[in-house]
Chains A and B, each alone.
Chain A
Amino acid sequence: MNLLLPIVTGVLYAAGIYMLLRRSFVKLIIGFTLLGNGVNLLIFLMGRLAKGKPPLIPDYADVIPGLYADPVPQALILTAIVISFGLQSFAIILIKRVYAIANTDDLDEINTTDDYA
């Protein structure tokens, strides 16, 4: 699996970038979400991987005996997931508002502020 996760990360990045390069606002935000997943996975892989060994201290001990998954990337990703939710919801609502006003999803038609000031 250690071999496959880098490939999955690469696929998520490629798909995310591809969607960012589209003209549709909705696709842009989908790309954003995909890229966010890719980034989370990337950070996760940068830490030490340990299958089925969560960083929990057992009842009988004061420190974790043996190998355990790296807790630092986990803490980073946990907040990243929650914050990216905040960001995504802002972006999604922005689509809604832009669509209500500009009546289009095409980024090329809404790249000037002058018409919708």
Chain B
Amino acid sequence: MKYFGQSAFFISSIEYEDNWHIFARMTAAVLAGFIFALLMPIMRRVSLGRFAILNSLLPLSLFVWFASFLFSGLEGNLSSHLEWAFGASLSFKLDGLSLIFALLITGIGALVFAYSASYMKGNPYLDRFYAYLSMFMAAMLGVVLSANALTLFIFWELTSISSFFLIGFKNKDEASRKSALVALAVTGFGGLALLAAMLLMGAVTGTYSIEAMLLQPDVFASSPYTTLILVLIFIAAFTKSAQFPFHFWLPGAMKAPTPVSTYLHSATMVKAGIYLLFRFSPVFTDLALWSNTLMTVGCITMVFGAIHSLFRTDLKSILAYTTISALGTLTFLIGIGTREAIIAALVFVVVHALYKAAMFLIAGIIDHHTNTREVTLLGGLRNAMPLVAVAAFVAALSGAGIPITFGFIGKDLVYEATLHQGNMSLWLTIIALVTNILVGVAGFIAAIKPFAGRLPDALNGTKAPGPVLWFAPILLAILSLILGISPGLMDHTLLIPSLDALAINTDGVYLKMWHGINTVFWLSMVTIAGTVLIYLTAKPYKYLSGIPAKLNMLAPQTIALAMVGSFAQIATAWNKAFQSGHLRYYVLISIITILAIAAAVHLPGFHWHFDWSMIRSVAVYEWVLVVILIASVLFTVFTDSRLAAVASMGVIGYAICLIFVIYGAPDLAITQFTIDTLTVILFILVLYKLPKYLKLTRTRSKLRDGAISIVFGTLITAVVLDVLSLDRPVYISSFYADNAYLLAKGKNVVNVILVDFRGIDTFMEIVVLAVSAIGVFGLLKLKVKRHDV
């Protein structure tokens, strides 16, 4: 019964279209995942049991809803808006670009949700897993649909957080937890940069609406903040999309269960940075800093990832590095920024999602059924899992850009883009060619090698995967073939709306498989030939696998971890030095700090405001009073008897009381007198039964403390003298004195301040008194004896 309610909920999110306002529909589409995640604890039994696969109805229904726009078009009012505070608003907008990403998020999401039902079967925390996944899906939809810069940031951070939970899903494994933390640190850092970028853009353009920002390219062209904004956006996008030198969290993220790697760390989340670059490319694309940085970083990342992927022997590691390479390619294409490049990038997003998701899912199946991901140990699995082998073959072909797969179209477009770049087209084309060959080889190693050749003895008896597992890769392979044969399907459904969203001329845009024999064709042929040749002849993983360890010395990851490590060391050293657990050292450190600051500020140009000539005006009784006071202070400090110390403290109090009398403060004098009496009584009542002082400190530390105390006392005296030499305003006091009788009908100004002008303060003070009495009462009545301890 429970799951019935669940599915009714999903369907209702589709039905909104007819009944509800557009806002409700868009908001529901984004929030459905969050609500679903919240409902997980209630629906625990469903998601854990045989019906776990039904969880995929959530992304599936959202996918269907988004897919309906492929044919109905996006004209009209597909944006919604709810004003909130500080310029943040809950507003969503669905345009072509958002639609591509939304379809990937929900489509791959549906496949991954279903696949996980089998892959994660028996995991006691499957409900949690689905909760994180759907939270991630909702956050990711929020990122690509947000029309407000601040909400974009919030959803962006939510993807980082859900990614953290998913990478660390095996939370009993230390390596998983560490990888999760590294990923969160890197992407969270980028998130902060994004917030700063969005706030700056808001300040520069005067709006937080992304649409309105994009209408003001001239503002960015002239603003002095543009460089800073760009750098911040780069940090945000590069950390999220694993660009060099921030790429290192992504291979670590492979500690997550394979469905997560498929979904977050290959198909969707890592593309959030790419989405951000796409989204803001219309205003920045003409800036040299934008294109140069993106092209440079993209180039480095794609070559770096491609080379690294060849050194790896772990299936998921290979795929992680080829993903980094693919993300580099996307950054690079956006950096080129021409119409050809943007088309290539848009198509490549889809191409990559299709083949890479398939490869990851296949790697998961292999891992699940053979318990190994070591590519050197794998082979000949084609007989055990023929359908998976077919899907893997198609994915590998698509990855290498071999016709009739969709990858071929993507690769062609990349060459088209590099060839038309302009002054550097030759070099860029060569770099793209090398990258494509290397990535192609890596794809072959990851997706063909496990199925080809002889079956190792260790893998005898490998069982065939069930339909829930093989369905997703097969479907992705079929899609890859369909789009490869008739890429024109994308023209009006996705490509042209996206180009519209990016304000790019769409005249004559159409995709086709066969362009005739031209440069691009020859480049493709060289790529394919190179890929196949290298795969068949060279076995880089056999003799290169030792290299990563050597490279690790210089890897950004090592440097980052070393920095984190040294932070911890500094913190430990700091703690040891300053958090000794001894009160007197805390006091000592505080006092020395205050002294140091005061010395730094006041010592230069210090003037001692002591007017010796005034000393004659001091009356004899005043001298006597001061001498008694100072003498009893010294006696209090140096006496060996506690009772004597307490008694002389009483004397100090009475002396101060006399000072108050002399200086026209009768209220203070009486208060001081009574309190002093009570304090002495209190001390005597308590100290009566305690033993004498012990001699606890060495003479050396006494001298040190004495010196510091004297310096501090001198500082206070100097400060007071300094202040007394100034002309101090008295208007507050004058106000009270002048109005005490007129406004409050009292003639004792001090009392009027206490009970009338500042009565609320006084009330708080008697509350504090009451609290201290309760504290004392509690302490005294508490019956704790030593033997109870």
Contacts and interface: CB of A to CB of B under 8 A. Distances in A.
Nearest to A80: B765
A9 B733 CA distance: 23
B717 interface: yes
Contacts of A14: 709-710, 712-714, 716
A48 B705 contact: no
Chain B interface mostly: helix
A42 B720 contact: yes
Given A6-B720, A71-B737, A20 B649 contact: no
Contact of B611 (A3, A28, A42, A56): A3
B461 interface: no
B521 to A, nearest CB: 78
A90 to B, nearest CB: 5
A24 B721 contact: no
B609 to A, nearest CB: 9
Contact of B634 (A15, A51, A94, A105): A15
Nearest to B645: A30
Given A3-B618, A108-B582, A19 B637 contact: yes
A33 to B, nearest CB: 6
B683 A85 contact: no
Nearest to A26: B642
Contacts of B761: 79
A78 B344 CA distance: 79
Interface string B701-742: 000011011101111110011011000101011001110111
Nearest to B619: A1
Max chain B C-beta neighbours (<10 A), residue from A78, A87, A112, A116 = A78
Given A23-B584, A115-B789, A79 B773 contact: no
A22 B697 contact: yes
Given A26-B693, A115-B789, A72 B732 contact: yes
B630 A8 contact: yes
B672 interface: yes
A94 B769 CA distance: 16
B633 A74 contact: no
A51 to B, nearest CB: 6
A93 B780 contact: yes
Given A1-B622, A15-B709, A26 B671 contact: no
B516 interface: no
Contacts of B678: 85
Contacts of A85: 675, 678-679
A71 B663 contact: no
Contacts of B747: 56-59
B662 A52 contact: yes
A116 to B, nearest CB: 6
A22 B672 CA distance: 26
Given A7-B717, A54-B665, A116-B789, A107 B741 contact: no
Max chain A C-beta neighbours (<10 A), residue from B656, B664, B714, B753 = B664
A37 B750 contact: no
B694 interface: yes
B559 interface: no
A70 B732 CA distance: 10
A115 B786 CA distance: 11
Contact of A4 (B618, B646, B715, B737): B618
Contact of B749 (A2, A45, A64, A88): A64
A83 B663 CA distance: 22
Contact of A74 (B667, B683, B724): B667
Interface in A71-108: 71-72, 74-75, 77-79, 81-90, 92-97, 99-103, 105-108
Contacts of A10: 713-717, 720
Contacts of B710: 14
Given A3-B618, A89-B682, A107-B582, A23 B697 contact: yes
Interface in B624-672: 626, 629-630, 633-634, 636-637, 642, 645-646, 649, 652-653, 656, 659-660, 662-668, 671-672
Contacts of B582: 107-108, 111
Contacts of B728: 46, 48
Contact of B686 (A4, A71, A92): A92
B716 A9 contact: yes
A3 B667 contact: no
A13 B716 contact: yes
Contacts of B646: 30
Given A6-B720, A92-B682, A117-B789, A111 B636 contact: no
Contacts of B575: none
Contacts of B588: 21
A38 B785 CA distance: 37
B49 to A, nearest CB: 46
Nearest to A111: B581
Interface string B761-774: 11001001101110
Contact of A82 (B587, B675, B753): B675
B782 A97 contact: yes
A9 B717 contact: yes
B712 A97 contact: no
Given A33-B679, A97-B779, A86 B773 contact: yes
Contact of A26 (B583, B687, B716, B772): B687
A50 B750 CA distance: 15
A55 B720 contact: no
Contact of B716 (A42, A92, A102): A42
Contacts of A38: 716
B147 to A, nearest CB: 54
Contacts of B623: 4
B713 A78 contact: no
A93 B779 contact: yes
B784 interface: yes
B538 interface: no
Contacts of B583: 20, 28, 107, 111
A115 B772 CA distance: 26
B485 interface: no
Contacts of B773: 86
A88 B694 contact: no
A99 B758 CA distance: 40
A101 B784 contact: yes
Given A4-B623, A22-B696, A83-B772, 11 more contacts: A1-B619, A5-B720, A15-B637, A26-B693, A48-B728, A79-B761, A84-B675, A88-B682, A90-B775, A93-B780, A102-B786
6 contacts: A15-B633, A20-B587, A23-B696, A24-B694, A72-B733, A105-B694
Interface of A: 1-15, 17-24, 26-28, 30, 33-34, 37-38, 40-42, 44-59, 62-64, 68-72, 74-75, 77-79, 81-90, 92-97, 99-103, 105-108, 111-112, 115-117
9 closest A-B pairs by beta carbon, nearest first, are A14-B713, A10-B717, A86-B772, A69-B664, A10-B713, A18-B709, A6-B720, A55-B749, A57-B747
